[in-house]
Structure 1
Amino acid sequence: MLPRSERARLTTLYGALLVLAGGGLVALLNVLVRKGLFRSINQAVTTYAPALHQTQTLREGPALAVPAQKAPGAALTPEQLATYRATRDLSSAAERAALHELLTVSLVALAVFAVLSIWLAWWMSGRVLRPVGVITETARRLSGANLHERIGLAAPPGELKRLADTFDGMLDRMEDLVGAQRRFAANAAHELRTPLAVQRAAAEIGLAGEPDPAKVARIREKLIGVADSSEHLIESLLLLAVSEEGLESTRTVDLAALAAAELAECTGEGALGPDRPAGLSVERALAPLAVAGDRLLLGHLVRNLLANAVRHNRPGGRIELRTSPDGVLTVSNTGPVIPPGEVARLLEPFRRRAERRHTAGEGAGLGLSIVASIARAHGAALTAEANPAPSGGLTVRVRFPAAGSPPPPAG
């Protein structure tokens, strides 16, 4: 049965490999020693064996006995044969004793080595898996209240260091998304609650008692205006939610023709009502541009950009609408001078440069955030830049993927 923890598995693997390596080394040493041990012992024994008294005397020094491997057989005398047998028996006994001692010492050394190997494998696997444990504990502690925590693994470059850094990067993105979601929910609740409060106050105060017909007409007009504003806000929220889900299906859309149609509608007579500045001039350069996407969402993208350019312009101002064959849609307008640091904030939901007055035709602060969401759904890159003084205003560019590159799938 396999161990249940990664550390135990690594310990088993490392320990088994080290013990097998030690056992192989012990076996190899025993084989090599056994192979030449008898010859070495026999040579040593025959060198110091008693001399055969043939022609030498004790004063002449000891005579060498005949080695067992070179015994000539029938040419030996009885004394030489007896010496040969004694030498052979002594060599064999010495070999057996030496091999037994070697085997005993080797097994003891192997047992000690096995214990040290298992301990070393356990320690090493703990060192290797320590970053994984840190990542696991951090992930276990995380909740919506402490998404600011990071691993910050202090380790040399490697796979686990990259894993920890990737996890920290994912936490950064999650914290941004959760923060944006919380701000969106709070702003949406505020935006939806305010019209209801206005309607209630108009009904309770304006219609209290027996108001004259003129007052009733004014209250009626106010309630209808607030209802229209609330309806527009709800439609914008639904559109934002749909665009965040991605595209279920795509087809080729003539963006230049779509932009021309939306431009005619947004800059026509009566567009945007009293909020439309007087004397607006329009410059357009619509080169052929076909993109893959959803025609309805792309229409909302162009419409919101143009409505934003018209609503936040100035009398006698200018609007520029351009499409280029390399996949870029550009909408630029004159207007108030916007500090460059505020541009990114304007792309967030419910962000405006001026306080909302809850009047008819007033935007909900979702236009540019819807544009950014639709651009992401089509795999396009959106950039916004503040125009310098004295013209002021904003320039928004949406760069669509090259032809043949499909937008990201839904979900």
Structure 2
Amino acid sequence: MTRHAAWKPSGTVRTRLTLLYTGLFLVTSTILLTVVNLLLTSALESRVSSITEDFPPFGELPPGAGPAPRAPGAPDRPVRPEVVDAMSGLPGAVLRYQWTVSAIVIAVLTVVSVVAGWWLAGRVLSPLRHITATAHRLSLSNLHERIALAGPRDELTDLADTFDAMLERLERSVDSQRRFIANAAHELRTPLSVQRAAIQIGLDDPLPDRLIPVREKLLTANRRTERLIDSLLLLAQAEHGPGGMEPVTLDPLVRQTVEETAADGVVVTADTRPVVVEGDPVLLGRLLTNLLQNAVRYNRPGGTVHVGLTATGVLTVRNTGPEVPAERIAELFQPFRRLHSRTRTADGAGLGLSIVLSIARAHRADLTARPNPGGGLELTVRFPVHTGAEPGGRRAP
């Protein structure tokens, strides 16, 4: 159950942005009007006080005295006290009027700021509405669609482009998973069909001499199915990630794998240097086994396989054999894909290099492949070297 069934701008980001815009306006306008009113009040009081002090008091001139001196701009005759009192109260009256007008203006502009802030927030968040609607519309059947947000380059277009890149990766992953399931079903169906045919045909004649080849066919198909299931489980484990990472001395493991691999008429040589890498010993052993078995199986009679390991963690496996088209090398790392022009046998399930790629990625290693000029393939795995342990430490089983 999703938390939000549809895009709801009210009560969420749009409301908060509107309140933020309005609050900022109220704070700044209130501070501005307060400062202006206080300065105006101070100026009025100072001006009125200086003028009233220059007015001659009414009725205080001595008899026979001449006219009192007056300040420039002051009246030439005495001013009544009520006039002086009225002028003294002028700043307060102006201030009250100013505060009243300011309050009315702030109230009106607050309403305007709410409306303008709501509209502006909607304009700013409209790309998010488009992104959200597209995300709700997408499913496994229309992963090919993209947001494709137009407009100037900003944070929202960057967000939309990031979603588009994620959708592209997700689409490739789903397509790869669909192909994997289809190929796995096909590979599992083949040995089961052989078993069923052997049982149906071979057991029609229950004579002992007919049961022997039937048994051999069933055992062969059973072993192939078992190897395929083991490979699928190992591929799933490699894609999930190693169970535990520890320093592993790789060079003795390489030599051990070379000694245990059946050469099948192929000359295998090794040139290794001491190096320690961080990884899962079991998965690293399977990576080396698959690389060597692949190099031996997909070779020519009397061919060679050379295994090299440098002190910088670069593992190279190079074999002879038929030429491999450079444009088809990427297919070798896809599950259940075989290049029949290279194969000597059909015993493999097409998962060897897929498992190698998954194990390499789980160990943050780079796996590359290139065809040899005279035929065959060169696979290179670049492991990050473990700097916290000296060569000759923990050895992988």
Q: 1:56 matched to which residue of 2? A: none
Cα drift, residue 93 of structure 1: 6.3
Cα drift, residue 372 of structure 1: 0.6
Is structure 2 residue 375 aligned with structure 1 residue 392? Answer: yes
**Aligned in 2, Cα 1:404/1:154: closer, same or farther, shift over 3 Å?**
farther
C-alpha distance in structure 2 between counterparts of 1:205 and 1:310, whole Å: 35
CA contact 1:262–1:302 (8 Å) conserved in 2: yes
Is structure 2 residue 342 aligned with structure 1 residue 346? Answer: no
Is structure 2 residue 297 aligned with structure 1 residue 297? Answer: no
Residue 337 of structure 1: which of 295, 317, 323 is its match? Answer: 323
Aligned to 2:348, the other structure's residue is in SS state: coil
Q: Which amino acid is 2:333 matched to?
A: L
Q: 1:31 matched to which residue of 2? A: 38
Q: Which blocks of at least 5 consecutive residues in structure 1 are unaligned? A: 44-66, 269-275, 407-411
Aligned to 1:83, the other structure's residue is in SS state: coil
Is structure 2 residue 22 aligned with structure 1 residue 15? Answer: yes
Q: 1:364 matched to which residue of 2? A: 349
Residue 186 of structure 2: which of 187, 190, 204 is its match? Answer: 190
Q: 2:392 matched to which residue of 1? A: none
C-alpha distance in structure 1 between counterparts of 2:324 and 2:109, whole Å: 74
Is structure 2 residue 298 aligned with structure 1 residue 312? Answer: yes
Is structure 2 residue 159 aligned with structure 1 residue 152? Answer: no
Q: 2:254 matched to which residue of 1? A: 259
Aligned to 2:330, the other structure's residue is in SS state: helix
Cα drift, residue 356 of structure 1: 12
Aligned to 2:79, the other structure's residue is in SS state: helix
Residue 382 of structure 1: which of 348, 367, 372 is its match? Answer: 367
Q: 2:220 matched to which residue of 1? A: 225
Cα drift, residue 135 of structure 1: 2.6
Q: 1:59 matched to which residue of 2? A: none
Aligned to 2:247, the other structure's residue is in SS state: strand
CA-based RMSD: 2.9
Aligned to 1:148, the other structure's residue is in SS state: coil
CA contact 1:381–1:400 (8 Å) conserved in 2: yes
CA contact 2:247–2:278 (8 Å) conserved in 1: yes
Cα drift, residue 214 of structure 1: 4.2
Q: 1:373 matched to which residue of 2? A: 358
Larger deviation, residues 344-353 vs 253-262:
253-262
**Aligned in 2, Cα 1:356/1:141: closer, same or farther, shift over 3 Å?**
farther
Larger deviation, residues 105-114 vs 238-247:
105-114
Cα drift, residue 367 of structure 1: 0.1
Aligned to 2:284, the other structure's residue is in SS state: helix
CA contact 1:252–1:290 (8 Å) conserved in 2: yes
Q: 2:53 matched to which residue of 1? A: 69
**Aligned in 2, Cα 1:12/1:248: closer, same or farther, shift over 3 Å?**
same
C-alpha distance in structure 2 between counterparts of 1:178 and 1:112, whole Å: 57
Aligned residues: 368
C-alpha distance in structure 2 between counterparts of 1:204 and 1:147, whole Å: 45
C-alpha distance in structure 2 between counterparts of 1:124 and 1:387, whole Å: 63
Larger deviation, residues 181-190 vs 131-140:
131-140
CA contact 1:22–1:113 (8 Å) conserved in 2: no
Aligned to 2:271, the other structure's residue is in SS state: strand
Tell me the percent identity.
Answer: 46
CA contact 1:375–1:398 (8 Å) conserved in 2: yes
Q: 1:161 matched to which residue of 2? A: 157
CA contact 1:313–1:333 (8 Å) conserved in 2: yes
Residue 216 of structure 1: which of 186, 211, 214 is its match? Answer: 211
Cα drift, residue 252 of structure 1: 2.5
C-alpha distance in structure 1 between counterparts of 2:36 and 2:103, whole Å: 12
**Aligned in 2, Cα 1:99/1:349: closer, same or farther, shift over 3 Å?**
same
CA contact 1:228–1:360 (8 Å) conserved in 2: no
C-alpha distance in structure 2 between counterparts of 1:189 and 1:199, whole Å: 16
Residue 119 of structure 1: which of 115, 140, 146 is its match? Answer: 115
Q: Which amino acid is 1:314 matched to?
A: R
